[in-house]
Structure 1
Amino acid sequence: MPRMGTPGFFPALLPALFVVIGLVALQGAVLHAGAADTLTVDRPLAGSRRPLVSTRGQFALGFFQPGNTGRWYIGIWYNQLPEQVSVWVANRDSPVSSPQSSSLTIAADGNMVILDHSGLVVWSTNLTAITSSTVAVILDTGNLVLAHASNTSNILWQSFDHCGNTWLPGGKLGRGKLSGGCTRLVSWKTSTDPAPGLFSIILDPNGTSQFFLMWNSTQQYQTSGNWTGHSFAGMPEMNPNNGYPNSLYTFDYIDGANESYAVYGVKGGGLITRFVMDVTGVINVVMWSDRRNIALQGSSNGSRSDKFYTMVDVELPSNAQNIVAATSNRNCEFACLSSHDCTAYSFSGSCSLWYRDLINLQDLNSAATGTKGGSIQIRLAASEFSNNKNTKKLAIIITIATIGVTLIVAASVFLARKRFKQVAHVDGSLIAFRYRDVQNLTKNFSNKLGGGAFGSVFKGLLPEGTLVAVKKLEGFRQGEKQFRAEVSTLGTIRHVNLIRLLGFCSERTRKLLIYEYMPNTSLDRYLFGSSHQPVLSWSTRYQIVLGVARGLHYLHERCRDCIIHCDIKPENILLSDTFVPKVADFGLAKLMGHDFSRVLTTVRGTIGYLAPEWIAGTAITTKADVYSYGMMLFEIISGRRNTIKRQDGTVDFFPLLAAMKVTEGELEGLVDALLDCDVDPAEVERACRVACWCIQDDEGARPSMATIVQALEGLVEVNVPPVPRSLKLLADQTTNVEFYSKLQSE
Structure 2
Amino acid sequence: MESFLLFLTVSLSWVVVSGLSSSEFIYPNFTASNLRFIDSSGSFLFSRNGTFKASMLNPGTQQTNFYLCVVHVASNIIIWSANHDAPISNSGEMSLTVNGIAITDRDGSFKWATPPLKSSVSLLQLTEMGSLVLLDQLNETLWESFDYPTDTVVIGQHLPVGIVLSSAVSNSDLSTGDYRLAITASDAILQWRGMTYWKLSMDINAYVNLNYAVEYMALNQTGLWLLGKNGSVVIIQVNLFPSDFRIAKLDDSGQFIVSSFPAAAQKQEFVGPVDECQIPFICGRIGLCADDTASDTPVCSCPSNFRASSQNTKSCVPSDDLNSLPVACNSTYINSGLNLSSVSYLGLGYGVDYFANDFAMPVKYGVNLSTCQDLCSADCSCLGVFFENLSGSCYVLENALGSIMSSTTSDDDRLGFIKTLVKDSPANFGGNNSSSSQTQDFPLVALVLLPFTGFFLLVVMGFFWWRRSRLAKTGTGKLGYQTSPSSGNLDAFSIPGLPIRFEYKELDAATDNFKTQIGSGGFGAVFKGTLPDKSLVAVKKITSLGVQGKNEFCTEIAVIGNVHHVNLVKLKGFCAEGRQRLLVYEYMNRGSLDRSLFGNGPVLEWQERVEIALGTARGLAYLHRGCQQKIIHCDVKPENILLHDHFHAKISDFGLSKLLTPEQSSLFTTMRGTRGYLAPEWLTNSAISDKTDVYSFGMVLFELVSGRKNCSPRTQSHSMDKDNSGCGHSSSSSGRGLVYFPLYALEMHELGRYLELADPRLEGRVNSEEVEKLVRVALCCVHEEPALRPNMVSVVGMLEGDFPLSEPIVESLNFLRFYGRRFAEASTIEETNGQSDTMLYQQANTACTSSISGSNVILSYVSSQQISGAR
Q: How high is the TM-score relative to the length of structure 2?
A: 0.36
Q: Which structure ranks higher in relative contact order (CA pairs < 8 Å, sequence separation ≥ 6)?
A: 1
Q: What is the TM-score of this pair, normalised by structure 1?
A: 0.42
Which is richer in helix?
2
